[in-house]
């Protein structure tokens, strides 16, 4: 099977790589020996077409310091590429992002799969100006209606879209490295956040506020905020405005490599995800795979954490609720048992198993297209 995957973020990109890109690399490196995979990515400085980690990369678009211009350029050039080259592939997978207005179905007769990893909805209006937020919200609502085949990372996102036309739908979770399941959990003196530095979306402003309150009761417990993202400089400026007695207990180690990630997880007291909106962050599953209890906001996408007893939650956007939950979880006698329940549950979500589900779905879509 010859697969073309429109992947707007890739390794080496100046704007960074998040869960969308990591998911693609983890899946394709496991099936690349059986299939011919091409990743069509947005251009960045010094990006050259060719193999990266054994996967063929083609870069299109115009380089810019503006992320918006880069994405719009990618949308235009990627659409042109599909129009001129789709006949060279058996199936096309398009990553869904309202910021990248592509309607690939209009440029090819090949079977296409829209992979939808999140839904933002009205929260756009709290993050962007009304004009831009309206555009994103409208595209997010309308664009999926033109597609027949879908992959969702979680069922909550699927529920938010009207898919009357859909022929084939699969819910294929994110995954974890199987090595995490065998790592003995340990505890040090810190609470961990690991993920993208996105102040509003990931709720990092709420986390800082809550930690200031938490620290009064537990002055010996540090807060480690690991990761990178476009908000990093602004977040560092927020930290500098905090009182010294709070700031000195907060660490920003930056991006954590796969080699160091297991150690960072294993020594945390628990792992926290205070998102205002999210999908199913890989880091949540990795924390569970590491045997750690997790504390999450009570958005629907995180409901499974409390349902399976792998952690607890707090009222989204409420720093007081988060601070109390942090204290309660630190005192909780069953914190380690929560971690073990999460580890047991997530053992079915290794990247090896996820890649097989993904491969089987693409093969099924292609078979139905060839033999309706």
Q: Are 283 and 318 part of one and the same domain?
A: yes
**Which residues neighbour 148 within 8 Å (Cβ) at sequence distance 6 or greater?**
111, 112, 165, 166, 167, 168
Q: Are 309 and 356 part of one and the same domain?
A: no
DSSP assignment, residue 96? Answer: -
Lowest mean pLDDT among 56-60, 176-180, 190-194, 320-324: 176-180
Distance CA 95, CA 102 (A): 10
Lowest mean pLDDT among 6-15, 161-170, 257-266: 161-170
Q: Are 210 and 161 part of one and the same domain?
A: no
Residues paired with residue 40 on neighbouring β-strands, in sequence order: 6, 58
pLDDT band at 53 (very low <50, low <70, confident <90, very high): confident
Q: Which domain holds residue 41?
A: 2-175+350-370
Reading the block at residue 36, the tokens are 């011919």
**Which residues neighbour 333 within 8 Å (Cβ) at sequence distance 6 or greater?**
none
pLDDT digits (tens, 9 = 90+) for 159-199: 877 776 778 999 999 999 998 998 888 889 999 999 989 99
Instruction: Using alpha carbons, select from 316, 289, 290 the residue that is nearest to residue 303.
Output: 316
Q: Are 97 and 243 part of one and the same domain?
A: no
Q: Are 126 and 270 part of one and the same domain?
A: no
The confidence score (pLDDT) of residue 164 equals: 67
Q: Are 286 and 192 part of one and the same domain?
A: yes
3-state secondary structure 156-193: HHHHCCCCCCCCEEEECCCCECHHHHHCCCCCCCEEEE
Distance CA 134, CA 132 (A): 5
Tell me the CATH number at 259.
3.40.50.2000
Most confident of 133-137, 143-147, 170-174, 181-185: 170-174
> Residue-wise over 59-83: b if at least 16 C-beta within 10 A, else e?
bbbeeeeeeeebbbbbbbbbbebbe
Q: Are 361 and 278 part of one and the same domain?
A: no
Instruction: Using alpha carbons, select from 357, 334, 354 the residue that is nearest to residue 346.
Output: 354
Q: Are 160 and 195 part of one and the same domain?
A: no
pLDDT digits (tens, 9 = 90+) for 272-282: 999 998 887 89
Give the 3-state secondary structure of residue 215.
Answer: helix
Q: Are 170 and 196 part of one and the same domain?
A: no
Phi–psi pair at 56, nearest 5 degrees: -70, 130
* Residue whose structure tokens are 């045997």: 291
Phi–psi pair at 77, nearest 5 degrees: -70, -35
Distance CA 339, CA 288 (A): 6
Q: Are 144 and 250 part of one and the same domain?
A: no
The confidence score (pLDDT) of residue 173 equals: 93
Answer for the pair 124, 107: CB distance below 8 angstroms, yes or no: no
Q: Are 148 and 187 part of one and the same domain?
A: no
DSSP assignment, residue 290? Answer: T
3-state secondary structure 337-361: HHHHHHHHHHHHHEHHHHHHHHHHH
Distance CA 326, CA 345 (A): 23
Q: Are 204 and 92 part of one and the same domain?
A: no
pLDDT digits (tens, 9 = 90+) for 213-245: 999 999 999 999 999 887 899 999 999 999 999
Domain count, the chain: 2
Q: What's the pTM?
A: 0.89
Lowest mean pLDDT among 181-190, 264-273, 334-343: 181-190
Reading the block at residue 63, the tokens are 């380089």
């Amino acid at each position: 099977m010859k697969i073309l995957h429109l992947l707007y973020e890739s390794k080496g990109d100046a704007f960074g790589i998040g869960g969308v890109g990591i998911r693609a690399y983890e899946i394709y490196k496991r099936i690349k020996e059986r299939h011919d995979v091409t990743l069509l990515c947005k251009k960045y400085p010094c990006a050259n077409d060719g193999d990266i980690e054994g996967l063929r990369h083609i870069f299109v678009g115009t380089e810019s310091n503006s992320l918006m211009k880069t994405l719009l350029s990618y949308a235009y050039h990627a659409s042109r590429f599909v129009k001129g080259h789709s006949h060279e592939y058996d199936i096309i997978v398009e990553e869904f992002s309202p910021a990248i207005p592509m309607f690939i179905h209009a440029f090819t007769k090949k079977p296409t799969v829209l992979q939808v990893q999140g839904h933002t909805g009205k929260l756009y209006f709290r993050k962007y100006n009304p004009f831009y937020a309206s555009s994103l919200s409208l595209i997010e609502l309308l664009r999926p209606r033109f597609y027949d085949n879908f992959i969702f990372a979680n069922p909550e996102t699927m529920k938010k879209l009207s898919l009357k036309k859909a022929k084939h739908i699969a819910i294929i979770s994110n995954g974890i490295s199987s090595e995490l399941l065998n790592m003995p959990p340990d505890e040090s003196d810190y609470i961990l956040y690991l993920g993208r530095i996105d102040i509003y979306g990931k709720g990092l402003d709420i986390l800082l506020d809550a930690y200031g309150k938490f620290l009064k009761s537990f002055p010996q417990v540090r807060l480690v905020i690991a990761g990178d993202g476009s908000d990093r400089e602004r977040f560092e400026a927020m930290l500098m405005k905090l009182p010294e007695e709070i700031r000195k207990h907060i660490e920003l180690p930056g991006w954590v490599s796969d080699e160091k990630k297991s150690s960072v997880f294993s020594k945390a007291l628990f792992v926290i995800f205070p998102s205002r909106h999210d999908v199913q962050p890989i880091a949540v599953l990795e924390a569970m795979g590491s045997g750690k209890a997790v504390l999450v906001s009570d958005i629907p996408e995180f409901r499974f954490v409390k349902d399976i007893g792998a952690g607890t939650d707090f009222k989204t956007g409420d720093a007081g609720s988060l601070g109390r939950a942090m204290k309660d979880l630190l005192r909780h006698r069953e914190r380690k048992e929560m971690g073990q329940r999460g580890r047991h549950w997530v053992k079915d979500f290794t990247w090896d198993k996820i890649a097989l589900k993904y491969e089987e779905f693409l093969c099924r879509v292609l078979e139905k297209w060839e033999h309706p």
